[in-house]
Amino acid sequence: MNGATLPRPLVLWLLRVAWVTLPVIAGPAAADALASWATAPRVAAATLLWLAWAVGLLATLAPRPQTLTALRVIAPAFVLASALVALDGSASTLATAGALVATIACAVLASGHDIASAAANSIAYGDEQRFPLRVPPALFLGPLPLARVAVAAGVVAPVLLLADGQIVAGIAAVIMGGALVVVLGRSLASLSRRWAVLVPAGFVVVDPLTLADPVLFLREHVRYVAPEPATAAAPGLLDLRLGAGAGSVSIGFDEEVELVRATRGRHGGATVTTQALSIAVARRDEMLRTAAGRRLPVRVPIR
């Protein structure tokens, strides 16, 4: 493990402690902001905040891919809510500053590889170890934050509108918000189910964004597993990194393998053949060390 990286259990416990303390540190700002609201919307908003916090707490204590997706929607939503409270000016400066610091800390910790690894391995079967694939960087430039905000808004807006007595607008928000939650929620959930998996038989790539189905590469047919620079894939490699460069790993085979690429708007996908492919893995050094320990042909000494 890189010497500059905190031990995984410590990072997870930092996230848990930060999340547990959110009501104490960020709660006063939320209470001040809601104080001027009418009773029904105020109660509805407070209930939503407590439910969201409880779901996030469950996600930190018992990580699963589903709860990871929820956590990564809720944590940035809390940051946005804290920012809106700061802009509104209804809470004291100290309470607002505390809310911003606490929610940003939770969002940063929730976006890390540690909680993602814990969620992935919580549903591992038998003697296997899962390593999350890196999220395509282009998604961070707009699509991913907007999708998370839209999902959060799709849940919050209908409740607040209906609680405020705006029935027509509330029903419209239920319909539109429900559609957003279903469509965008499914896409966000797929980001929590992208893994490189080391199994007793070899190596599995699970990536619904690039492959129609998980693919098992048997150990006896894997010729090498090697780290690669964060540059364009070498000629002949099937690039499954989706623009991610950090953590690049190539896997070569002793013969051509057949894969079914995931395609939008089509059933089944497109079939391709390759003798080597490239993926981008979180905690690459740890993955390569584990692969070497499982008798996969890792090309270089692992730090």
pLDDT in tens, 139-188: 988 899 999 999 999 999 999 999 999 999 999 999 999 999 999 999 99
- Is residue 16 exposed (0-12), middle (13-18) or buried (19+ Cβ within 10 Å)? middle
Domain ranges of the chain: 8-191, 202-293
Query: What pLDDT, on the 0 to 100 scale, is given for residue 3?
Result: 33
Of 37-51, 157-171, 267-281, the one with minimum mean pLDDT is 267-281
Of 20-29, 36-45, 84-93, 290-299, the one with minimum mean pLDDT is 84-93
Is 50 exceeded by the pLDDT of residue 241? Answer: yes
Query: What pLDDT, on the 0 to 100 scale, is given for residue 254?
Result: 92
Residue 299 CA to residue 200 CA, distance in Å, equals 19
Of 121, 137, 140, which Cα lies nearest the Cα of 129? 121
Percentage of residues in the chain with pLDDT exceeding 90? 82
Over residues 52-68, mean pLDDT: 96
Of 5-9, 88-92, 153-157, 203-207, the one with minimum mean pLDDT is 5-9
Q: Rounded to 5 degrees, what are φ and ψ at 253?
A: -125, 160
Under 8 Å between Cβ of 120 and 131: yes
Of 87-96, 131-140, 237-246, the one with minimum mean pLDDT is 87-96
